[in-house]
Chains A and B, each alone.
Chain A
Amino acid sequence: QKEVEQNSGPLSVPEGAIASLNCTYSDRGSQSFFWYRQYSGKSPELIMSIYSNGDKEDGRFTAQLNKASQYVSLLIRDSQPSDSATYLCAVKGNTGKLIFGQGTTLQVKP
């Protein structure tokens, strides 16, 4: 079992729709959870961090965390073609090491 799992996709949504990206993790001791966006050929860019159960909203992005289910999700509202990228879920324990999933490719079609 991988430590952090994501569906590689591609996930295709029409412009203006809600994109839902999901991630599960295996280490119950994980404390911090992050979503990074990575455009092709570029480095990962931090877009959301979440540390406690529940929802965290930032603009069009909402991160959701459920530690009991070991599940993290990212919702992107009003998806735009510029949101087309690979979204990486990352988990940290108390060691400070980031453990990444393989990423989900999102395609937003005009």
Chain B
Amino acid sequence: DAGVTQSPTHLIKTRGQQVTLRCSPISGHKSVSWYQQVLGQGPQFIFQYYEKEERGRGNFPDRFSARQFPNYSSELNVNALLLGDSALYLCASSPWTGGTEAFFGQGTRLTVV
């Protein structure tokens, strides 16, 4: 079975640009969450989606947005990129919300120059 897939794996953008990251969850999983991990820190929660509805939002500026599609895949958009947005962006897949296990994709390494 395919695991969580994210694209692209690496990305270099210029300050002020916009970026879209994509995630396909494990088949049968309906919840997708996004996390940002900067070097030396644990992942920080950005968004959670379940059944195409936003179920949680972390402490990130409005430049960050996301959506989930009918096939449960998801996109994370970041506008007006800052140098500080450089990080590993992780997508986590779960069957539903709540206390169930979450499985991560390989991540997208975003570098803002």
Contacts and interface: CB of A to CB of B under 8 A. Distances in A.
A45 B102 CA distance: 9
Given A44-B104, A45-B104, A46-B103, A98 B45 contact: yes
Interface in B15-52: 31, 33, 35, 40-45, 48, 50
B101 A44 contact: no
Contacts of A36: 104
Contact of A34 (B33, B41, B50, B101): B101
Interface string B68-86: 0000000000000000000
A32 interface: yes
Given A97-B48, A98-B43, A31 B99 contact: yes
A97 B45 contact: yes
Interface size bucket, A side? 20 to 34
Nearest to B109: A41
Given A43-B88, A46-B103, A94 B98 contact: yes
B96 to A, nearest CB: 8
Contact of B33 (A31, A32, A96): A96
A70 B64 CA distance: 33
A90 B37 CA distance: 14
Contact of A102 (B33, B40, B50, B58): B40
A95 B101 contact: no
Given A43-B104, A101-B42, 18 more contacts: A42-B107, A43-B88, A43-B90, A43-B106, A43-B107, A44-B104, A46-B101, A46-B103, A92-B99, A94-B98, A95-B56, A96-B31, A96-B55, A96-B56, A96-B100, A97-B33, A97-B58, A102-B40
